Amino acid sequence: MHLQGKIALITGGTGELGRAVVTTFRKRGAEVATTYFSDAEVSTFRTQFPDVLALKGDLSKEHDTVAVFESLVQQKKRVDILCNIIGGYMPKKNIADLSEKEWDFMFALNLKTAFLCSRSAMRIMQQTKYGRIINISAMAGLSPTAGRGAYGISKAAIETLTTIAGEEAKAIAGSDITVNAIAPSILLTEANKKSATPEEMHDWVTLEKASEVIAFLASDEASAINGQTIRVYGKI
């Protein structure tokens, strides 16, 4: 499995999962670009990955998203792989207690960013007849439970977005474009470690394992998989 010569845009590459994906893709030979929201979050990233193109923008805004992709194509000529890593989580809260602001924020962060970036990428990939798009759903979206209102529903919508975009990709004559997603259970991030026992953490999914699944879906070896959401649950 390799990504040699591919141009990959990894949104949210400055986060924990994003940095793991950047690392894995670079090891596999991809030429990587990423996005960031604020100057503060990108400073340490640039120290760790000085050769990675970092593009600033709020990808929940159409204007910023279009500008990011225009800049990427101007500098790299195309985009072969899009990994929609941007996303967020909120603590359990029943629907009756959710505010409109919380609802809108979760959908803007988890769903709208994936939609806007996928739309821009698909327009480019339709011209080159090649592409891989990988989204991030979640176990909370595929196996809904109480208290996972805005977060769970926004992640469930990612699965639907992936299915529909995958079907649309199939309809592009002569193309090799796929759209898939992973749905992790609990990722072994530094933030999550703070609220868990060693026994619990043993069952969680490491960032490296999650990034390997993403890299596989981005590879030519996974060309027969399209419109699917892969459950990455570890031992949970």
Q: Domain span at residue 63? A: 7-232
Q: Is residue 13 part of a domain?
A: yes
CATH of the domain at 201: 3.40.50.720
Q: Is residue 205 part of a domain?
A: yes
Per-residue pLDDT of the chain (236 residues; tens, 9 = 90+): 689 999 999 999 999 999 999 999 999 999 999 999 999 889 999 999 999 999 999 999 999 999 999 999 999 999 999 999 999 988 899 999 999 999 999 999 999 999 999 999 999 999 999 999 999 999 999 998 998 899 999 999 999 999 999 999 999 999 999 999 999 998 887 777 777 787 777 888 999 999 999 999 999 999 999 999 999 998 87
Nearest to 6 by CA among 83, 65, 104, 62: 83
The C-alpha atoms of residue 218 and residue 148 are separated, in whole angstroms, by 29
Q: Which residues pair with 58 in a beta bridge?
A: none
Pairing between β-strand 81-84 and β-strand 7-11 as defined by DSSP bridges: parallel
Q: Is residue 62 part of a domain?
A: yes
The C-alpha atoms of residue 156 and residue 181 are separated, in whole angstroms, by 11
The C-alpha atoms of residue 70 and residue 11 are separated, in whole angstroms, by 15
Number of structural domains in the chain: 1
Q: Is residue 21 part of a domain?
A: yes
Q: Is residue 1 part of a domain?
A: no
Q: Which are the contacts of 218, defined by CB distance < 8 A and separation ≥ 6? A: 3, 6, 8, 25, 30, 81, 83, 132, 134
**SS3 category, 10:** strand
Q: What is the pTM of this model?
A: 0.95
